[in-house]
Structure 1
């Protein structure tokens, strides 16, 4: 574990901090939700924000293979969190949306995420919060665009 008391943490790779945050997040989901794992949450939130998406569109959005989307979508459908219907304009394509149970799960998880973020930022100014979000967004975009 990182020694957060050290003054030279600026030399510690950012990816390690991200890994620790993800590990805590994974443990939280595992301990609080029986049928939702971290990857499922990513899919559910993206389906929530991008309704009526096809598997191909979801694969592009999440930067994964269509086969990967197929596996996870199948499990989410089995757990009654999403449903798929055939696209009226292309019968070989299926459109994905959240069920009421899936929407409820997303609202619960987003509520928890927003509460965590509020606690995280409680000692920071709005300007600091905006700067942090801008920096982490830039970090993400550079990692994607530059294939870091």
Structure 2
């Protein structure tokens, strides 16, 4: 099942707060679902020194833009790839949509393991255990807007 979500870039302040909320360490393997231009995986590797940062993106142009020697970018369908990538992952980040989160959370609940952390920008995962909510004001295409970051842990 291919899920298409429009690319809306997360402002730098939101990326930073998402990664802080994930409580990253050098041992973490981060997976960004729908990584767009790769800003989250690049920041996780550069600023938080995670062991590995992986992005999944279905748009070929964005997939090429996200590529960087320090991160891994997989071009393809996140729903299909989640099953393959999940055993390696300790943290998942996402800025998707309500419907996409509903589908992804079922996979996370099925494949995830205790301690897996999930951070979502603006869209909730209804069935996951919410650990914390943060709000961030950032300048975007429409001026200053407030963003909500949802932090979960299995």
TM-score by structure 1 length? Answer: 0.27
Flag the structure with more relative contact order, 1 or 2, with Cα contacts below 8 A and sequence separation at least 6: 2
| Higher-Rg member (1/2) | 1
More strand by share: 2
Higher helix share: 1
